[in-house]
Amino acid sequence: MPERDELQVARWDAIRARIGERLRGMRGRSRSQAQLAWEMDELGFHISQSMVSRYEQGQGEVPLTLERMVGWALCCDALGSEHLRELLELGGYALPWTRGDMRQFDDLLHRYRALSRPDQMALRRRMLWHLVGLHPEPAPSEAPR
């Protein structure tokens, strides 16, 4: 486990049960933990089913990063949900988007549902960049030398 300050540990201990509640709320009943873990793994997050389970029960040991929270919501089609808003607030994070914007992201994701699985994943990976407020990453061949 990476080295963490006492205050950080204490803060995480104080909020992780509430974080778990919101994570469960985002996933809902229609999506299994295994499915969520698989989708997050496809997006490049190193999260297993047991980690999903532990975080949802408020037993995750390492604080969730902004990227993981957003990726979690992206896989649950819950970007515009109250759960994510509360989650970000608890974690002390902010995104450069309004609630309305986030709902439109969800709408866009629904439209992607008609695409094949690999195409959906490729698009979601790119969407994450935009969501967390990063400029598109240049392709390796065009990276500045």
Partner 1 sequence: MIEVRLCDDARRALRDRVRALPADGDARIRTQRMRALLQELGVSCDDKAEFEELDAVLLASANGTEALVAARLDDEQRAIAYARLLARMLADEFHAPLDAKMEYTEGLGAPPKSDRERERMVIALAHAILDGDLDAAPRPLYEDVPMFTLAFTPRSAARSTLGGFHLWSDFWYRRSNMYRRWRSRRDVSSAIRQVCTILTRVSVPAA
Hey, which residues between 71 and 130 contact partner 1 (CB under 8 A)?
Answer: 96-98, 100-101, 104-105, 108, 112, 115-119, 121-123, 126-127, 129-130
Residue 30 vs 116, nearer CB to partner 1: 116
User: Under the criterion CB under 8 A, does residue 145 sit at the interface with partner 1?
Assistant: no
- Rounded to a whole number of angstroms, the minimum distance from the CB of residue 28 to partner 1 is 23
Q: In 10 A of CB 56, how many CB atoms?
A: 20
Q: Which residues in the 6-65 window bind partner 1 by CB under 8 A? A: none
Establish if 137 lies at the interface with partner 1 (CB under 8 A): yes
Sign of the CA dihedral running 60, 89, 92, 31:
positive
Q: Would you say 82 and 67 are in contact if contact means Cβ atoms under 8 Å apart? A: no
Q: Which helix (H) or strand (E) holds 37?
A: helix 33-42
Q: How is residue 141 annotated by DSSP?
A: G
